[in-house]
Chain A
Amino acid sequence: MIGLEFIYRLMGVLVAGIAIVNARDSANPKRWRNTMFWGIYAVTFLAGSYLPDRVNGLLVIVMVAVASIGMGQASGEGSTRETRLANAAKWGNRLFIPVLVIPFGTLLGTLTFKGGTFNGIAVMDPKQVTLISLGLSTLLALLVGLAMLRPAPSAPLVEARRLMDSVSWAAVLPQSLAALGAVFAASGVGAVIATLAGDYLPLGSPLSVVMAYSIGMALFTMIMGNAFAAFPVMTAGIGLPLIVGRFGGDVVVMSAIGMLSGFCGTLMTPMAANFNIVPAALLELRDRHGVIKVQVPTALLLLSANIVLMYVFVFRRP
């Protein structure tokens, strides 16, 4: 059975390769920092499942220390604009084939292997089919690209390193934030927030509780970085006792629109790194918060719309 562990091995090999390319790049004055950062990150993929938690924790801290003193960038591109334009003209729309292999391969893999068995044994870990399909599709796409373009063997790694170093430490941020969320949850941060909200917010009328719940979902999502962490806290603290309990609101309408109010918060927070900070790095924006800035107007308007929708529909008598 193919499980996530296999995909982590692939990641480990890729990141180790990126570390090696960095080590060989004498043009980058900070190359050893990059090598160390990606080297340790590779270890967390290759051996993380077997190392004690404390060792993993210390590895992460060393990575953070290296990132904090500053990492270097890849020196220049592996190709000139002229050759890229010439190649674009030569290969034309065929260049899109490997790109499209990734989403459609993931989709096909998900549909095919969900519960798919071979001689009675599951081909993929049924709980992780989408992630495993994504991992395998990227491999397939790479093979298609290599067969088609026949580049120098080092090209995929050198190019992966160019992109990875432009994303730099931001590549690891989503994982650190997930870890922070786990620490917050274990330390009871949510309960404290819910108590504070209950003590200090005006919660006397149906409209005020709807506003407190929706805006609370958005704000707490901004703090935690995802709506999944905010939903149980806000719903147990304000939603169920007040909107449903005291004012007789509909639990389905409240939950559905409440979660989506949380998503409005996701659009506005750097804590949702994989949606907001990573794309800024990936697109090489000079402003780390550039994506958030263009999303804020939509998020605020949509949050207002959610408050109106919830107020209109949640107290409607069936």
Chain B
Amino acid sequence: MLTLIGILIVVVGFALRLNPLLVVTVAGLATGIASGKPLLDVIAAFGHAFIESRYVAIVWLVLPVIGLLERFGLKERARDLISRLRVATTGRVLLLYMFIRQVTSALGLTSLGGQAQMVRPLIAPMAEGAAETRHGELSPDTRDFIRAHAAASDNVGYFFGEDIFIAIGSILLIRGFLDQNGITVEPAALALWAIPTAVCAFAIHGTRLLLLDRKIAARIAREQAAGSNEATGTGAPMERS
């Protein structure tokens, strides 16, 4: 039971909004110590796993080129492009992106997307631009809300598309685990049974995205009714120049 202390630390730490990096590290060390290992061994195990997981950081290599292009007006251009398309609304832009993300992931093309590569430089500015065309300058809250939805559309499309591709990690993991338990399954059968959930995911999140434009309009109407000066404020930190 004492080994669960790490989970307790994580839950309490996140609930108190302490620095997650600190919470996670303390939880790891506490769990290791609770399981009876010497402190130095626990630190070594933590260090080893940290080094082994460096591959998750490779995505940061996109920052120099994305930053360079942002200096030359990439986000402004993405916004401008969308604002010229009269039919483009925030909800529709994100729905189309989620659809493309889901279909390409299902075909195994999971690299055609991602938060740092696509959402920050292109999708989020487009989603914001579409809203600005209709409503003018956005309040920081509404801007954050739209950006959060841009990130969510990438996640939902990716998660519930990739499992339809038979060579993806999760299918291989399921197959490997069942193999160890003496059960042989076809990857294609696993992929097939990912389709009903994929359809539901698209229907559920797609419906929410179609309703998003109305929700944004309602938010903005509410803000204007509140009449506070902050509602039309100076924009999010990203836009400060």
* A contact residues vs B (CB 8 Å cutoff): 4, 7-8, 10-11, 14-15, 44-45, 48-49, 52-61, 63-64, 67-68, 76-89, 91-93, 95-96, 98-99, 102-104, 106-107, 110, 128, 130-131, 133-135, 138-139, 141-142, 145-146, 149, 151, 155-160, 162-164, 169-184, 186-189, 192-193, 223, 227-228, 231-232, 235-236, 240, 251-253, 255-257, 259-260, 263, 266-267, 270-271, 273-280, 282-288, 290-291, 293-295, 297-298, 301-302, 305-306, 309, 313
Contact = CB atoms under 8 A, between A and B. Distances in A.
Given A68-B19, A182-B49, A284-B236, A138 B28 contact: no
A193 B50 CA distance: 24
A139 to B, nearest CB: 7
A229 to B, nearest CB: 10
A223 B118 CA distance: 28
B67 A177 contact: no
Contacts of A313: 193, 196
B88 interface: no
A56 B163 contact: no
Contacts of A284: 147, 236-238
B22 A285 contact: no
Interface in B140-185: 140, 144-145, 147-152, 154-156, 159-160, 163, 169-170, 173-174, 177-178, 181, 183, 185
Contacts of A135: 58, 61
Interface stretch (B6-14, B130-138, B220-228): B6-14
B51 interface: yes
Contacts of B149: 294
A251 B148 contact: no
Nearest to B77: A88
B237 A183 contact: no
A187 B170 contact: no
Q: Which 3 pairs from chain A and chain B are nearest by CB?
A: A159-B67, A57-B47, A88-B73
Contacts, number: 420
Contacts of B80: 88
Given A14-B63, A156-B68, A174-B53, 13 more contacts: A45-B54, A54-B40, A81-B241, A96-B122, A99-B66, A130-B111, A156-B64, A175-B54, A231-B170, A278-B115, A280-B148, A283-B151, A288-B17
A87 to B, nearest CB: 4
A275 B60 contact: no
A89 B76 CA distance: 9
Contact of A298 (B19, B67, B201): B201
Nearest to B177: A232
B218 interface: no
21 contacts: A54-B44, A59-B47, A60-B25, A63-B21, A83-B73, A93-B81, A110-B111, A130-B111, A138-B64, A139-B61, A142-B64, A156-B65, A164-B63, A179-B28, A180-B27, A187-B31, A188-B3, A192-B4, A286-B144, A290-B147, A294-B145
Interface of B: 1, 3-4, 6-7, 10-11, 14, 17, 19-22, 24-25, 27-28, 31-32, 34-35, 40, 42-78, 80-81, 109, 111-122, 124, 140, 144-145, 147-152, 154-156, 159-160, 163, 169-170, 173-174, 177-178, 181, 183, 185-186, 189-194, 196-197, 200-201, 204-205, 208, 236-241
A88 B77 CA distance: 5
Nearest to A236: B181
Contacts of A188: 3, 35
A162 B111 CA distance: 25
B6 A180 contact: yes
B124 A177 contact: no
Contacts of A59: 47
Contact of A256 (B45, B50, B163, B169): B163
A298 B204 contact: yes
B34 to A, nearest CB: 7
A95 B73 contact: yes
Nearest to A298: B205
A78 B68 CA distance: 10
Nearest to A175: B53
B111 A251 contact: no
B196 to A, nearest CB: 5
